[in-house]
Copies of this chain bind each other. A is one copy, B any other.
């Protein structure tokens, strides 16, 4: 059975040594001192280790079952969900007006990480609810907020997001689900939605479906899409549950992974729906919650890699096979533990340096979201909006790759389900697909975000890197060479790619879009390089200031050096690919594939 322990020391390092959370002038951040965040993270880590980790295999093996129209979740999920709810974990950053604790989004993000590492499928039930909560909180009427939010912060009622239909995923303009206005101001919603995570289950009294649908007679395509609340049980005026609404589960999908989460086909048949916000502005409502939702998926990517990594390290220390080529390390044993072998090290260092960089990147993203929302900081909003597709696309691609690498450390045992390493890879795989497949993230980045407001945000990004390098150079030659110079070189590659797009994308947009995926990965590397440089500065400063735990900070520096020498050189390969443009990519007629 796989193990998991929350890496609270690493998490604290980012929140305090790197982001210096409690010193930030963001409302609520003054609460985030070391002791407070430590207490929160210890507790969420404890729940993750003790309750959620053992249920991860159970969820994978049992899956969800549709019985007489109702979904039954795996053994133990209900009790665990109650514990999570009772602990207040579902409402950490929610509005106190509706029962939330009003903590910063950064705190929420960090506290969620252990849950996602321990049991991604389980945590999606509350994760989806949080997304639906946010949509109603921003776009719902006062009445809607009063009716639904207090129950959703506690997850007594959970939420879902209904976008996809069989013939339309990315291109929501093709949507067929209809919402017909009724005399009483409600709508009758009819249609089929697929891939609905947590679409039905036995963990909550009610399920609040957020459904995208078209009001007949509205604009064609994406501009005619509206957002509706469609509760599983209608809610009476006094807040009690009324009759069953016209929504039912068509089937549960058999998936590659996240078996513990019920992915449903949902059928709406004259179901009563309530319009959220304005008619035909449904996509806007979706977009406002997208940064957070996509950051949450990016977190899933590295959180699965973290859990897989912890197990790979344990196995590499335990498994005896062969001898260190430079001399026996464990003469008292029949063979050395495989962690002595350079290629096992290479693999583990790839994982470690990715996961820690990705965590820093994600927490920094959460901090930017707080700054954007709580301080109305347009620059922060621009920056996080630019980086959201990178967080989602790069961290989930790499998170899956690293989970596969961790599985590889186990040799043949990695392929046997009993050892649990296959599940990490299978579960991590979905994060590359949902919430906008990663090719769409790349398109969003290059086709939309780069040019936003005349390229203002990407220019601000490069300025930020430049300023950071200038501010931190010249104090320590070795550090400059190991951290700042590689970052500078990688950042130059990224700028050159952006330049190529500007110069060649105008005459033919295919020249830019053919390089979009490479650009997303390149950007991801530069962001992780930047985070490692910041972590390096933090570790260097801590050591200079006489920190007692020198080993911890030395390890940070060593891990950062690994990323800089072994991962960052990828940017030049991506640049070379990008600079070949569309010619070879688009050369073939569709018939010649």
Using a CB–CB distance below 8 Å, which chain A residues touch chain B?
Answer: 164, 167-171, 174, 194-195, 253-257, 313, 316-317, 320-322, 325-326, 334-335, 337, 339-349, 352, 400, 404, 407-408, 411-412, 414-418, 422, 425-426, 429-430, 432-434, 437-439, 442-443, 447, 508-510, 513-514, 516-517, 551, 555, 558-559, 561-562, 565-566, 569-570, 572-573, 576-577, 580, 582-588, 590, 592-593
**Most chain B C-beta atoms within 10 Å of own C-beta, residue among A256, A339, A572:** A256
| 8 Å CB contact of A561 from B317, B408, B570, B584 | B584
**Within the complex, what minimum Cβ distance (angstroms) separates A201 from chain B?**
19
- Considering only CB atoms, which chain B residue lies closest to A560 in the complex? B584
Does B412 lie within 8 Å of A343, measured CB to CB? Answer: no
Q: Report, nearest first, the 5 A-B pairs whose CB atoms are least far apart.
A: A342-B513, A569-B576, A256-B422, A565-B580, A562-B584
CB distance from A506 to the nearest CB of B (A): 12
Q: Given the interface contacts A174-B334, A439-B344, does A447 sit within 8 Å of B325 by beta carbon?
A: yes
CA distance A499 to B9 in the complex (A): 42
CA distance A438 to B588 in the complex (A): 34
Distance (whole angstroms) from the CB of A217 to the closest CB of chain B: 19
Note all chain B residues with C-beta closer than 8 A to A326.
Answer: 508-510
From the candidates B170, B253, B415, B592, name the one contacting A256 in the complex (CB within 8 A): B415
* Smallest Cβ-Cβ distance to A169: which chain B residue: B411
The answer on a CB contact under 8 Å between B426 and A414 is: no
One complex includes copies of this chain to the number of 2
CB-based contact A170/B322 at 8 Å: yes
Q: Which residues of B sit under 8 angstroms from A322, Cβ to Cβ?
A: 170-171
Cβ-neighbour of A439 out of B343, B558, B584, B592 (below 8 A): B343
Are B561 and A569 in contact, with the CB atoms below 8 A? no
Contact of A339 among B432, B582, B590 (CB under 8 A): B590
Partner pick for A514 among B337, B345, B447, CB 8 A cutoff: B345
| B164 and A412 form a contact (CB under 8 A) | yes
- Tell me which of B346, B347, B577, B582 contacts A342 (CB under 8 A): B582
Whether the pair B588, A558 counts as a contact (CB closer than 8 A) is: yes
CB distance from A153 to the nearest CB of B (A): 29
In angstroms, Cα B342 to Cα A70, docked, is 42
Verify B344–A586 contact, CB threshold 8 A.
Answer: no
CA distance A588 to B316 in the complex (A): 14
Q: Which of A254, A412, A430, A586 has the most CB of B within 10 A?
A: A412
Compute how far the CA of A275 lies from the CA of B171 in the bound complex, rounded to whole angstroms: 65
From known contacts A562-B584, A562-B587, A577-B569, infer whether A593 and B411 are also in contact, taking CB-CB under 8 Å.
Answer: no
Give the shortest distance, in Å, between A362 (CB) and chain B (any CB).
21
CA distance in complex: A588, B195 (Å): 43
Nearest B residue (CB) for A309: B593
Given the interface pairs A559-B588, A592-B555, the reply to whether A320 lies near B167 with Cβ below 8 Å is yes
User: Taking CB as reference atom, which chain B residue is nearest A195?
Assistant: B412
Residues of B within 8 A of A349 (CB): 584-585, 588
